[in-house]
Structure 1
Amino acid sequence: MPVQDGGSKVAETRARVELLPTAVADKGRASSKKTRRRPKKASAAVAAAAAAAATALSPMQRLFDTSREVFSGSAPGFVPPADAVVRLSAILNDLKPHDVGVDTSMPCFKHADSKGPPPVTYLHFYDCSKFSFGIFCLPKSGVIPLHNHPGMTVFSKILFGSMHLKSYDWAKSSPESNDNALENSNGARLAKVNTDAVFDASAETIVLYPENGGNLHCFTALTPCAVLDVMGPPYNRADGRDCAYYDESPYSSSCGGDDQYSWLKEVPTTFEMKGIQMPRKFIVGRG
């Protein structure tokens, strides 16, 4: 913020002082010097405090600080306490695209090549052993295939755009009481639909958990979309928490098809995202 220069006021004060008798003028000059020095010190202190307060209260700083608190005890299978889920969800619900530096004019939301699938870009902001967060950028018709989040709790917030979300949880029992098979002869597992709907930026934060809430999901962008994810603990191939992808096939019971269930089989995938490391607009070492 521009700071007005007080030089003209000081000069005016000095001119008035010089019209006084010598003894009084000398005293006035001494007093004036003290007066001029103090505001400089005070201004510097106030400016530093204001800058610190602005950083501490910035949306990105609040997101980072709250995520670090919520995931302080993160480990595979960790589920944050209910009040912590509410706090982090509230931070995400208030986020606007400009708070995190994204808008629809960015190249990652464009797709000029109609022959191939639109590429998905991941804007990476932060990760550690406890949690990570970043933004998935999908051009119109972009798809993130059906995949899992092993042992993870994930907070997802759509910043702009509209997308179709389909998610599953692994079934704990078969819809037929006389059939307890949760795996078929092809090695596919039975999963129950959690969500099958369209969401946009007006939707509140979606939270999925290690065992429920839609731990397996896929996104299809109906318009250019930006989705911010906070997840903990992050994927870690060395610890056996790599991302797996799945194909769906219909589930049929003795009574016919049941669209609330599907067989999901893990498959190899060629899906890749372009990753971009983003500048941090928050302080990691605070507190």
Structure 2
Amino acid sequence: MGIETALADRKGKEFCELPKVTNTNSKARKSRRRQKKTSPVQKLFETCKEVFSFHGVDNVPSPEDVQRLRSVLDDMKPADVGLTPELPYFRTTPAHRTPAITYLHLYECERFSMGIFCLPPSGVLPLHNHPGMTVFGKILFGTMHIKSYDWVADVPCNTSTHVNSTQIPSSDVRLAKVKVDKDFTAPCNTSILYPTDGGNMHCFTAVTACAVLDVLGPPYSDPDGRHCQYYLDYPFSDFSVDGITVPEEEKEGYAWLNEREKPEDLAVVGALYRGPKIVEN
């Protein structure tokens, strides 16, 4: 914006320049026109290329880069990616069927990925993780409940005592702290989670039809060991660990997570992204 403003301030002066610089001014005007034509999704793509240019697993972008990408996402609107709530992805699903979630793939390379999850009412993305990733999430429209956790460091996983009736081996659960547990309604700020902080494991539940634009850096990759793992969460009181105590009034802020297979009823289908094109250059 600063560059565009400076160029605009000089616009009137350019017509008074000597003929020998006319060609340069013409190029400048063309450059300004190209800048004005840049779509928001193209700007997002260009910013991601810069922010994730030298970042790998567990290598978090600098605070300045995080804020730069966040500010671009904060300005994104449904129309910027060709979405409206009237599209078929967001229709209410009959009560006897599990709502299918639609994923619109925008872009992916080894350094980052961009995509949109479209959730109909009651659609759920189960509790899952983002190993070694920095994740930016922007709710484009609708209301979504988000519950997220971070692992509690230095808590042993193999000395707990099984005290509930779920028949889960106590050695398979791990203590996590609740980071977020509330509804978010667009427009709202972009959420950011980090490899070890910010709610790396989260669950999305659509209160109304909603869409969330996700940027992952780096993306999931099975060959590189970045698997999407799913979890079940259990109240803190369901298990106990020798030497681990939490005040009664704080117990709701903790849970035991147990890794599970991908839920059988999870239906995520791909669809063609029909918004403004992203041009690689």
| TM-score normalised to structure 1 length | 0.77
Note if 1:278 corresponds to 2:253: no
CA distance, structure 1, for counterparts of residue 101 and residue 129 of structure 2: 17
**1:126-184 CA-partner distances (Å, limit 9, x unpaired):** 000000001100001110000000000000000000011000000015xxxxxx53454
Query: Higher RCO, 1 or 2 (CA under 8 Å, sep at least 6)?
Result: 2
1:81-122 Cα shifts (integer Å, max 9, x gaps)? 001011111001101100111110110001342211111111
The aligned residue for residue 70 of structure 2 is 89
**Once superposed, which parts of structure 1, at least 4 consecutive aligned residues long, lie more than 4 Å away?**
44-51, 253-257
1:229 aligns with 214
1:84 aligned counterpart, secondary structure: helix
Structural RMSD (CA): 2.2
Residue 54 (structure 2) aligns with: 73
Match of 1:181 in 2: 156
> Corresponding residue for 1:259?
252
Question: Whose radius of gyration is greater, 1 or 2?
Answer: 1
SS at match of 1:237: coil
Give, in whole Å, the separation in 2 of the partners of 1:211 and 1:118.
Answer: 31
**Aligned twin of 1:52:** 34
Percentage identity across paired residues of the two chains:
48
- Structure 2 counterpart of 1:4: none
Per the TM alignment, residue 74 of structure 1 is displaced from its structure 2 partner at its CA by 2.3
> Aligned AA for 1:282?
I
Match of 1:213 in 2: 198
Unaligned runs of 5+ in 1: 1-43, 174-179
5+ long unaligned stretches in structure 2: 1-25, 161-169
Provide the C-alpha distance between the structure 2 equivalents of 1:98 and 1:250, rounded to a whole number of angstroms. 41
AA matched with 1:136: F
CA deviations over 1:179-227 (Å, ceiling 9, x no partner):
x534542411110000111101122000000010000000101000000
User: Paired residue for 1:167?
Assistant: 148
Contact 1:118 1:141 in 2 (8 A): yes
The residue matched to 2:236 in structure 1 has which SS? strand
2:94 to 110, 113, 118: 113
Three-state SS of the structure 2 residue aligned to 1:258 is helix
Alignment length, in residue pairs? 236
**Alpha-carbon deviation of 1:283?**
1.3
Letter in 1 for 2:110: S
* In 2: Cα distance, 1:89 partner to 1:156 partner: 9
